[in-house]
Amino acid sequence: GQQVMQIPQYQHVQEGEDFTTYCNSSTTLSNIQWYKQRPGGHPVFLIQLVKSGEVKKQKRLTFQFGEAKKNSSLHITATQTTDVGTYFCAVGNNRKLIWGLGTSLAVNP
Amino acid sequence: EAQVTQNPRYLITVTGKKLTVTCSQNMNHEYMSWYRQDPGLGLRQIYYSMNVEVTDKGDVPEGYKVSRKEKRNFPLILESPSPNQTSLYFCASSLSEGRQPQHFGDGTRLSIL
């Protein structure tokens, strides 16, 4: 079945440093979603990418969808302590989503 | 306020004692699903429902049942809970299908002793 690999599993940064997490698939994706889960919280939808080569920005967050639609990245510029949490990518079809295992981000103030 | 409500938030119970985790959404969403989240295993889908009276198995359905008699409610039933079902459970809903943005409940932490 469809799988999505997410790396790294953990990332520890100093506040102000940048952070990137990657999702990779062996198959072409129709779309990819990104979620954030704060410690003790539930996943919260951030964005969905659909088009090849698409780049979307939300303040300090930049999301990219690869030209071949087999990979995606989430980049955070100048991390803040409020960015702490686990970031998940999810891919799917009309019936279900397949989730990456997530990247847990820790930020040292 | 648009929300997905799960109850209970926490439950400690014993092996074999039937339990139900309720999930209700007020957004008139057609698609609902249940996930369990375990350390190192991420989010795994248990069951999903495309609409009223339409349910199907996800990736880890063994030991669970669901029903969708009304659009807003999607209860998760553990007929005979076992310790390996100790987990954090999330209910989620979306407008009409799985690949649309999912709205999650706050989660239910189940401990089966």
Contact residues, chain A, for B106 at CB < 8 Å: 41-42
Inspect the interface and report whether the beta carbons of B104 and A43 lie closer than 8 Å: yes
Band of pLDDT at residue B99, cut at 50, 70 and 90: confident
Polymer length of chain A: 109
- Please tell me the distance from the alpha carbon of residue B29 to that of residue B34, in angstroms, as a whole number: 14
Find chain A residues with C-beta within 8 A of B98's C-beta. 92-97
Give the separation between CA A95 and CA A63, rounded to whole angstroms. Answer: 24
Q: What is the pLDDT along chain A (109 residues), one digit of tens a residue?
A: 668 999 999 999 999 999 999 999 989 999 999 999 999 999 999 999 999 999 999 999 999 999 999 999 999 999 999 999 999 999 987 788 899 999 999 999 9
Task: Provide the 3-class DSSP secondary structure of residue B83.
Answer: helix
**Lateral strand order in the sheet of B76-78:** B4-7, B19-25, B76-78, B65-66
CB contact under 8 A, B101 and A31: no
Distance from CA of A3 to the nearest CA of B (A): 12
Is-contact A79 A15, C-beta < 8 A? yes
> Which among B84, B92, B79, B111 has a CA at the least distance from the CA of B10?
B111
B24-39 tens-digit pLDDT: 999 999 999 999 999 9
B70 part of contact set with chain A, CB < 8 Å: no
